[in-house]
Structure 1
Amino acid sequence: MSSEDELGEVLDELLNIPSEPQESRKLCDKCCRPEKVCLCPYLPGKPIPVSNKLIILQHPSEEKRCLRTAKILELSLPVDKFRVIKAKRFSAHKQPELAEILKDHERTFLLFPGKSSQPLETIDTRQPYNIVIIDGTWAEARCIYHNSHDLKNMKKVVLNVQKRSNYVIRTQPTEESLSTVETAAITLAHLENNQSIYDTLMKPLQALCTFQLEHGAVHHFSKEYLILNGLYNKPITRKIQKKLGNKQEIKYFIR
């Protein structure tokens, strides 16, 4: 047998050696997180009593993301006060659940910024509401809104954020941008006249961020922060410049 034949046999044997199956991480049955970074100890012991109902309109891609925050709300609120509807486009015709909510238009509003949006502080807290939140990346949320006629006709409410997001493991577009759980927490705390709701919902979010940072994730600043502090290394579009307004002179070129 030639040396080339011997080498070929050796290579064949090596290629046929069965590989060790990758050990899968055990996931918590409740929060669906790996057991080592389970969020359950940081979740409320029992559902938070609320009179308002939260409806999450979720982009299908969001369900696949390991760092999604809507799951925290699902595990923290009563079953009859929380609902997730998944789609890329929403309408009363396609989603009967949404149709029922839209019928009660006086007590239903969409949390979405815009010229016609009214501040949360102006909402009467003496009655319960259906609070609708679009869940996805900011690009996905905008796409859902602009492609869903029924959402455009809803009463819209905006949050006047006075603090930075605690969700420091994903890049937000602006300093006022919040994660889904933060948006819901601020809104519910105001409507329920109960600040402890916000504090309770922030515990699992803070734990999630701490776990990720301890396992190699880096602290993310908003795109706005990076731009205004000269740390953004990409071209600035006119659209971004317009959004930032006169907060500070932007030194990077506009394409």
Structure 2
Amino acid sequence: MSRSYCPRCRLPLATCLCPLVQPQPCPLPVMLIQHPKEARHAKSTVPLLQLALPEMELTVTETLPAPPPPPRGAWWLLYPAPDAADIDTHPPGSLAPGGLVVLDGTWRKTRRLCHLNPWLQDLPALSFSRAPASRYAIRKGPGGQALSTLESLAHVLSRLDPDFDPAPLHRLLAHRVAQFSSRRPA
């Protein structure tokens, strides 16, 4: 017997998150580039972002041409490059990207995306140093300190625009983590 899936969140009906979704507008254009192998990962936070930030543009690929500039300003890459501007050490409003390019995948896969798309290295980079600790307990990065794509984007958007509320994204993630945790063997 096959499972029935929700057409909106693409999760099994028993774990549908649609009643918890509070869609909100992105304060600036967001283009998310997801590594193809990450797109097949059940624990990816990108489907949650697509539900909560419906204006976000998602491209699943390893290579793509540089996009046209956003309507106002220039694209910035959300990535911890050596010369990245730290959003947590700049005064609010002092950094004004016209849009964010966000990479989704393991650190190895995102480095590959940067290597295969040299135009990414030409973008000003944005990073952070004071984000809250990750609550994404179902997946760990190197050293256990990395944030999920959802957590990273929620933190940066809330720092760029004080009117952006990251709480609905965090609640959605917490519920998804609880779903996975409840199915883990003791």
Give TM-score, length-normalised by structure 1: 0.66
2:14 aligns to what?
Answer: 36
Q: Secondary structure at the match of 2:143?
A: coil
Q: Secondary structure at the match of 2:52?
A: coil
Deviation at 1:41, TM superposition (A): 2.1
Is the contact between residue 20 and residue 172 of structure 2 (CA under 8 Å) also seen in structure 1? yes
Mind listing any 5+ residue stretches in structure 1 that lack a counterpart? 1-22, 93-97, 219-255
Q: Secondary structure at the match of 1:26?
A: coil
Residue 136 (structure 1) aligned to one of 94, 101, 105: 105
Deviation at 1:123, TM superposition (A): 7.3
Matches within 5 A, 1:4-43: 23-43=1-21
> Whose relative contact order is higher, 1 or 2, with alpha carbons under 8 Å and at least 6 apart?
2
2:143 aligns to what?
Answer: 174
Q: Sequence identity of aligned pairs in percent?
A: 26
Distance 1:85 1:114, change over 3 A: same
Distance 1:193 1:91, change over 3 A: same
| 1:117 and 2:84 correspond | yes
CA deviation map 1:146-174 (0-9, x unaligned): 22110011100111134321111012113
2:156 aligns to what?
Answer: 187
Mind listing any 5+ residue stretches in structure 2 that lack a counterpart? none
Q: Which has the larger radius of gyration?
A: 1
Residue 49 (structure 2) aligned to one of 73, 76, 98: 73
| 1:56 and 2:32 correspond | yes
Deviation at 1:175, TM superposition (A): 4.3
AA paired with 2:43?
A: L
Using the alignment, how far apart are the partners of 1:200 and 1:85 within structure 2?
A: 23
Distance 1:210 1:76, change over 3 A: same
RMSD across aligned positions (CA): 2.2
Q: Secondary structure at the match of 1:134?
A: strand
Is the contact between residue 62 and residue 135 of structure 1 (CA under 8 Å) also seen in structure 2? yes
Distance 1:217 1:180, change over 3 A: farther
